[in-house]
Amino acid sequence: MPVRYSFTTFCLLSVALGVTAQAQEGYFPQADSVYGPGGYAQPSFGQGPQGAGQYGQGMMPPQGPHGGYQHGYGPQGFSAPYPPAYGAPGNGFLEGNMPNTTYQQYPDDGGWLYADSPLEKGLKNTFRHGFFRLEYLLWDVEDPGNTVVGTDISGYRNNPGQIVPVSDPVTGTITGTGIVQNLDLISLKDNNGIRGTWGLPIFNGTLETSVFSLQTNTSRINGEVQLPSATGAIDGLFPIIPFVVDGQQLLQTFDRSYQASYRTSVWGTESNYVLDAFDPNAFFQVRPLIGFRYMNIRETLSQTGVNTRSGQDPTDPAATTYTTTIDSTANNNFYGPQIGLRTELVGKRFTLGAEPKAMLGLNSYKSSLAYAGTIEDQALVQNSVTDTTFGTILSIQAYGKVHLSESFSIFVSWEGMYTGFVTRPYLNVGYYGTAQTNPPTDTLTNDPKFTDVFLQGLTVGGELRY
């Protein structure tokens, strides 16, 4: 009985030892044999025996049916098509799945601090989705109209170019007639200009910034001078300006020459945020806007007249003369917030729209006056007034666009702009004087007054979207 137990125990131990040895033979080579004869032949990279191997010649022993170990994939070991820790034969680690390995794909760079924030979206669209518009302007600025140069207490404005008697300053005899100067011939029409607009889609709307400028317009009037004939006939013709001297209206005569020039320059800029339409695919779209506007209107009225000195004969070419200069300048700076509404009919090939806007702000103005020679031997006198008052700008633009392509359009528009509380140079001069002092002195005053100015005209241009 003990012998049977001993024999049975011995057989079981032999079987267990055999199974253990057989399982050990099925394992892949250990780390200490990676570069040994049972594993990799060489550590250098190169072509494997069965394809583009990643770890060089001799990756798998050639005696196996797949370039691996004899009897398949290891000595009496694995029955799976490939070793679990390695990829296809000859491809090393790259194409296989390493055990217990997790792969994670990183997203694109989310940006600085906040990924996909509204600010970043706006910045990304700055140069990717916007437009640039360039326009040629042909605008009119409202003329001074029927306005007398000088005081008008005698109602000269009711009869432009009125002729009045002119007396010799020494003898008092009537030598001819005088024509009261009037600015009715001053024309400020057909001013060329240019405007550029840059638009950027940002924050569910479009930020549009534009700058425009009109060329400086200069218009002149020349007073007609006709000297008396030698026959003594009262046929002289002289430009005159009415003054108030010691409370009475007197006439300043220019028996040599007279010229008045009126210069106007206008430029401005605005920046508006235009909200996107509620339905961007609708045929009729309404888009509110809010922004800020600045506009500058600068005008100058310059007068130059030449007259003979008292006691001299205007018919004598050698008669001594003196020159009178009167320069009045008004510089208006309008600025303030504005609101508006853009309405459009949008089609594939055309767009029709209208855009009214209103600015309620301020006008910081400066009125300057410089004059000399209104009386004989008078030196230059200068003074200025600077102040701020209420200012308004109301404008409306009606336009049509033709879309030649997805990225380019041409258009034409009409625009009208009403500007209130404008000070203009021809209104600011008070023509006063006195003869009660010795020598006589004058007191031309710089007294700013306000009116409105209307600008209007056509624009033609192109719009590039990118």
Q: 281 lies in a domain?
A: yes
Out of 83, 107, 131, a domain closes at: 107
Nearest CA among 192, 185, 356, 363 for reference residue 266: 192
Distance CA 181, CA 197 (A): 42
- 331 in the same domain as 278: yes
Give the residue ranges of DSSP H helices in 316-359.
Answer: none
What's the token pair of residue 298? 């600068």
- pLDDT at site 357: 98
Residue 15, helix vs strand vs coil: helix
Residue 455, helix vs strand vs coil: strand
How would you label 171-189 residue by residue, b for 16+ Cβ within 10 Å and e otherwise? eeeebbbbbbbbbbbbebe
Q: 251 lies in a domain?
A: yes
Q: 116 lies in a domain?
A: no
Q: How far is CA 119 from the centre of its chain?
A: 21
Q: 15 lies in a domain?
A: no
For residue 372, the one-letter residue type is A
- 168 in the same domain as 32: no
- 342 in the same domain as 440: yes
- 244 in the same domain as 158: yes
pTM over the 0.75 mark: no
Q: Are the beta carbons of 16 and 22 closer than 8 angstroms?
A: no
Out of 50, 72, 107, a domain closes at: 107
Q: Which residues face 461 on adjacent strands?
A: 135, 411
- 461 in the same domain as 341: yes
Q: 457 lies in a domain?
A: yes
- pLDDT at site 31: 43
Q: DSSP for 237-257?
A: EEEEEEEEETTEEEEEE-SSE
- 192 in the same domain as 83: no
Q: 112 lies in a domain?
A: no
User: Could you tell me how many helices (H) and strands (E) the chain has, helices first?
Assistant: 2, 19
- pLDDT at site 49: 45
- 69 in the same domain as 208: no
Q: DSSP for 347-398?
A: -SSEEEEEEEEEEEEEEEEEEEEEEE-SSTTPPPEEEEEEEEEEEEEEEEEE
> CA torsion 37→39→45→48, rounded to 10°?
100
Distance CA 39, CA 319 (A): 125
What's the token pair of residue 228? 């008396």
How many other C-beta atoms can be found within 10 angstroms of the C-beta atom of residue 222? 12
Question: What domain range is 48 assigned to?
Answer: 21-107
Per the structure, the count of domains in the chain is 2
Q: 95 lies in a domain?
A: yes
- 145 in the same domain as 34: no
Q: Kind of pairing, strands 236-245 and 174-180?
A: parallel
Out of 107, 131, 161, a domain closes at: 107
Length of the chain in terms of residues written: 466
- pLDDT at site 288: 97
- pLDDT at site 325: 94
Nearest CA among 65, 61, 26, 68 for reference residue 41: 61
Q: 294 lies in a domain?
A: yes
Q: What is the CATH number of the domain that holds 172?
A: 2.40.128.100
Contacts of residue 180, defined as CB under 8 A and 6 or more positions apart, other chains included, come to: 148, 149, 150, 156, 161, 162, 164, 240, 241, 242
Q: Are the beta carbons of 53 and 46 closer than 8 angstroms?
A: yes
pLDDT in tens, the chain (466 residues): 454 555 555 655 555 555 444 444 444 444 444 444 444 444 444 444 444 444 444 444 444 444 444 444 444 444 444 444 444 454 444 555 555 666 666 655 555 554 556 666 656 655 667 899 999 999 999 999 989 998 887 778 777 777 888 876 666 677 788 899 999 999 999 999 999 999 988 888 999 999 999 999 999 999 888 887 766 667 788 899 988 887 788 888 898 899 999 999 999 999 999 999 988 889 999 999 999 999 999 999 999 999 887 667 777 777 888 899 999 999 999 999 999 999 999 998 999 999 999 999 999 999 999 999 887 777 889 999 999 999 999 999 999 999 999 899 999 999 999 999 999 999 999 998 776 655 556 678 999 999 999 999 999 999 998 8
- 359 in the same domain as 250: yes
Reduced to 3 DSSP states, what percent helix, strand and coil does the chain have, rounded to the nearest 5?
10, 50, 40
* Terminal CA-CA length for the chain: 102
- pLDDT at site 236: 81
What's the token pair of residue 253? 């005569």
Q: Which long-range contacts (C-beta less than 8 Å, at least 24 apart) are formed by 374-379?
A: 374/252, 374/324, 374/326, 374/433, 374/442, 374/444, 375/433, 375/439, 375/440, 375/441, 375/442, 376/309, 376/310, 376/322, 376/439, 377/322, 377/439, 378/442
- 276 in the same domain as 389: yes
- 435 in the same domain as 287: yes
- 449 in the same domain as 370: yes
